[in-house]
Amino acid sequence: MTDNLYLSTLQEFDKTIRHLHLKAGIIAYLRSPKRELTVNFPVEMDDGSVRLFTGYRVHHTTALGPTKGGIRYHPSVTLDEVRALAMRMTWKCAVVGLPYGGAKGGVICDPKTLSIRELENLTRRYATEIAILMNPQGDIPAPDMGTGEREMAWIMDTYSMHHGYSVPAVVTGKPLAIGGSLGRAEATGRGVVLTTLEALKQTNIPVEGARVVLQGFGKVGAPAAYLIEEHGAKVIAVSDESGGVYSAHGLNTRDLLAYAKTQGTVVGYPGTESISNADLFALPCEVLMPCALASQITAANASRVQAKIIAEGANGPLTPEADEILLERGVFIIPDILCNAGGVTVSYFEWVQDLQSFFWGEEEINERLRQILVRSFQHVLHMAQEKHVDLRTAAQILAIQRVAEAMQIRGIYP
């Protein structure tokens, strides 16, 4: 069965492509991944047994530059999901004007059930297996669901060991001590907030006191929560894999984060009511930020959503059916490829800094990120007005146009 996310990614592409005048062959090329690698590899486990794992790395296009995209560790990873996410990375990079094509990687595993040593073995072996595609000029991985700084450090080290010298630019999202960038850890959440602030302006909703509801309190959701709170918004509900918490007065999200770090979940945070994911989506609020898995808002629950703005911190959190229902109702949806592009944008800054061995200050990084996202938001808005389309379609038109133009200028080889 084709993965849901891949189906909706192709559906979105087909919807957009109607607005562009491209040759059928170029459309077919843009619709397909450029190259795909499947690797089956053994990992020695703590009990002495050997387990076989399967991983993937997919490059969607190289028209604009090296490929870029995260590596996901999750039990539900499939080749189709990785294809979908690689294609979305192409549009994401193109819509904010980064000189990259899209890529994605994944390993079918449940990192929570593996020891640190097993995770290290798995990561180093996977990195070696995909090294035929990965290098600082050709393909630069980064964190995604289930991976983070620690895994990126192992990948950087493995690649460097094989070369005999340090190659920090081969991967982004690394710890600061080995060539990571200031601002990278918060960058995706910061981007969600920057684009939400623009959406609030567009819809004439003051940020002061705006009620925000978040699904997901991880690498994206947690910074998004405390950064929007710093702008005066009131985060009234947050959920994670174990459940959700609600407070009509607003949560102190930095304190909630400290609590979640010690308890492993937001559930049980003092002074809150517990809330299910289903009820969380239906809360009256100004902004809903789905920052967890894909396909969370569907035809089945979209009609219960009361938010005025949806900020897609996750990749593909709305199914196309949900998208239609919510657009019909006039909800302002900030599409994922724009909303969560802050992460890859600061990854780009990290790569540039690594290549130059010259590092920037955090203020400079955050300001450059703000400029890129605000400008991209305005470009998308204008495209939507010009073509009379929704923001998702507008963002994709901009992105596809940029990639197609590069292909046309480069020409078809030979």
**Is 244 among the residues that bind ligand GLU (CB under 6 A)?**
no
Closest CA to 214 of 265, 281, 269: 281
In the shown chain, the binding pattern of residues 152 to 181 toward ligand GLU, with x for contact by CB under 6 A and - for none, equals: --------------------xx--------
Q: Closest distance between ligand GLU and the C-beta of residue 116, in Å?
A: 22
387 is catalytic: no
| Residue closer to ligand GLU, measured from CB, 123 or 272 | 123
**Is 69 among the residues that bind ligand GLU (CB under 6 A)?**
yes
Query: Torsion angle, CA of 109/344/11/405, rounded to 10 degrees?
Result: -140
**Is 305 among the residues that bind ligand GLU (CB under 6 A)?**
no
**Is 61 among the residues that bind ligand GLU (CB under 6 A)?**
no
| Residue closer to ligand GLU, measured from CB, 70 or 317 | 70
Residue nearest to ligand GLU (CB): 70
| Residue closer to ligand GLU, measured from CB, 159 or 246 | 159
Strand, helix or coil for residue 278: helix
The site for ligand GLU, by CB under 6 A, has a size of: 13
| Phi, psi (deg, nearest 5) at residue 103 | -145, 165
Alpha helices in 231-341 (DSSP H): 253-263, 277-281, 320-328, 336-339
Cis peptide before 317 (omega within 30 of 0): no
| Interface pick for ligand GLU out of 90, 123, 315, 376 (rule CB under 6 A) | 315
Identity at 32, one-letter amino acid code: S
Q: Closest distance between ligand GLU and the C-beta of residue 128, in Å?
A: 20
**Is 290 among the residues that bind ligand GLU (CB under 6 A)?**
no
In the shown chain, the binding pattern of residues 341 to 380 toward ligand GLU, with x for contact by CB under 6 A and - for none, equals: --xx--x---------------------------------
**Is 221 among the residues that bind ligand GLU (CB under 6 A)?**
no
| Residue partners of 48: CB distance under 8 A and separation at least 6 | none
| Interface pick for ligand GLU out of 33, 66, 70, 97 (rule CB under 6 A) | 70
Give the active site residue among 68, 92, 104, 174.
104
Alpha helices in 268-361 (DSSP H): 277-281, 320-328, 336-339, 342-356
**Is 102 among the residues that bind ligand GLU (CB under 6 A)?**
no
The DSSP-derived string for 183-222 is THHHHHHHHHHHHHHHHHHHTT--STT-EEEEE--STTHH
| Residue partners of 52: CB distance under 8 A and separation at least 6 | 40, 41, 42, 43
Strand, helix or coil for residue 274: strand
| Interface pick for ligand GLU out of 81, 120, 144, 312 (rule CB under 6 A) | 144
Contact range with ligand GLU by CB under 6 A, out of 36-44, 66-74, 211-219, 303-311: 66-74
b/e code 385-400 from CB counts within 10 Å (16+ = b): eeeebbbbbbbbbbbb
> Could you list the residues that contact ligand GLU (CB under 6 A)?
68-70, 92, 142, 144, 172-173, 315, 340, 343-344, 347
Q: Catalytic residues, which ones? A: 104
